[in-house]
Amino acid sequence: MTESHDPTPDAWAAVFARMAGVLLSEQTVATVLELITSLAKDTLPDTDGSGITLVDDESNRSTSAATGKMVERLDALQYELGDGPCLAAIRDGVPVRVDDFREEQRWPEWSRWAAEMGMSSSLSVPLQYAGEIMGALKVYSTRPRVYTADSEDILGRFAEQAAILLANMHTLTEAEALNERLLRALRDRDLIATAKGIVMLRENIDADRAVQRLLELSTQRRITVREVAAEIVASTYNETV
């Protein structure tokens, strides 16, 4: 049995500081995931590979980070077969540990292939935040019976931090997209308001009739009101230069 190996509080502080530093420096999501897999591999004794599988809203699965080609091949085989320890962790929302692929019966075909590739044991932990499972973090070893309950706790802490970072980045991306949509809406509103004023002056009509005129032009020309407004503003600018 592998000895319990839990990093000291100072070691955990250093690990999480590095993870937080990536977010604060506004690196890409890929950089965050690569760092997490690397740290997980280095922190858990006798680990030979680590990776992260993410799932999207349509349940599509992809390996978003891996420490080597072996991890990518093992993941690809799970996706092809539609089952395996990592996918089980995502589906059931619980850690999944495999002590020895040669003895594993839950996923016999995948386990046989994994053993033939030289791997013997694995541990997969779901990435979960606010009740949503975003994927799983997993580690592999060429030695059997490497991972323990302590290993689950350690990898679970990595998974928790990874899920928080991913959720924060997702929220930031959504906020930026929303901000852009709001800015675009404001710009469109100002553009349409300017065009409305031009139409009022040109045709000597009131505001309601000017809006109706913009709608009529949009229907007649089969373009958006914004496009109509842009043309009116541009034509007025051209007349003044």
Residue 93 belongs to a domain with what CATH number?
3.30.450.40
Residue 50: name the closest of 157, 112, 141, 118 by CA: 141
For residue 204, being part of any structural domain is answered with: yes
Does the pLDDT at position 24 exceed 90?
no
How many angstroms separate the CA atoms of 140 and 143, rounded?
9
Count structural domains, the chain: 2
How many angstroms separate the CA atoms of 49 and 223, rounded?
55
Same-domain status, 119 and 222: no
Helix (H, G, I), strand (E, B) or coil at 127: strand
Return the beta strands (E) in 99-194 as ranges. 121-129, 132-141
Same-domain status, 34 and 134: yes
Nearest 5°: phi and psi at 102? -70, -20
Same-domain status, 49 and 149: yes
Instruction: Return mean pLDDT, the chain.
Output: 80
Higher pLDDT, 53 or 169: 53
* pLDDT score recorded for residue 234: 86
* pLDDT score recorded for residue 138: 94
For residue 184, being part of any structural domain is answered with: yes
For residue 56, being part of any structural domain is answered with: yes
Same-domain status, 215 and 145: no
Domain boundary among the residues 141, 165, 189 is at 165
Does the pLDDT at position 4 exceed 50?
no
* pLDDT score recorded for residue 12: 57
* pLDDT score recorded for residue 96: 96
Q: How far is CA 50 from CA 78, 116, 158, in A?
A: 15, 18, 12
For residue 98, being part of any structural domain is answered with: yes
Does the pLDDT at position 26 exceed 50?
no
Residue 207 belongs to a domain with what CATH number?
1.10.10.10
For residue 202, being part of any structural domain is answered with: yes
Write out the residue range of the structural domain in which residue 150 sits: 9-165
For residue 4, being part of any structural domain is answered with: no
pLDDT mean over 10-32? 57
97: alpha, beta or left? (left if phi > 0; alpha if psi -120 to 50): beta
* pLDDT score recorded for residue 25: 43
Same-domain status, 37 and 126: yes
Does the pLDDT at position 46 exceed 80?
yes
% of the chain beyond a pLDDT of 90: 34
For residue 203, being part of any structural domain is answered with: yes
For residue 1, being part of any structural domain is answered with: no
Domain boundary among the residues 165, 196, 231 is at 165
* pLDDT score recorded for residue 84: 94
Out of 28-32, 39-43, 77-81, 157-161, which region has the weakest mean confidence (pLDDT)? 28-32
Same-domain status, 75 and 14: yes
* pLDDT score recorded for residue 1: 43
* pLDDT score recorded for residue 221: 80
Does the pLDDT at position 173 exceed 50?
yes
* pLDDT score recorded for residue 119: 94
Same-domain status, 147 and 184: no
Same-domain status, 52 and 152: yes
Same-domain status, 128 and 51: yes
Same-domain status, 101 and 208: no
Summarize pLDDT for 84-120 with one digit per residue, the tens: 999 999 999 999 999 999 999 999 999 999 999 999 9
As to burial, measured by CB atoms within 10 angstroms (0-12 exposed, 13-18 middle, 19+ buried), residue 188 is middle
pLDDT mean over 166-178? 58
Domain boundary among the residues 165, 199, 217 is at 165
**Given the structure tokens 């594993």, which residue do they identify?**
104
Summarize pLDDT for 182-224 with one digit per residue, the tens: 566 667 777 888 888 898 888 899 888 888 888 888 878 888 7
* pLDDT score recorded for residue 176: 52
Return the beta strands (E) in the chain as ranges. 49-55, 61-66, 96-98, 121-129, 132-141
* pLDDT score recorded for residue 240: 57
| Three-state secondary structure string covering 178-229 | HHHHHHHHHHHHHHHHHHHHHHHHHHCCCHHHHHHHHHHHHHHHCCCHHHHH
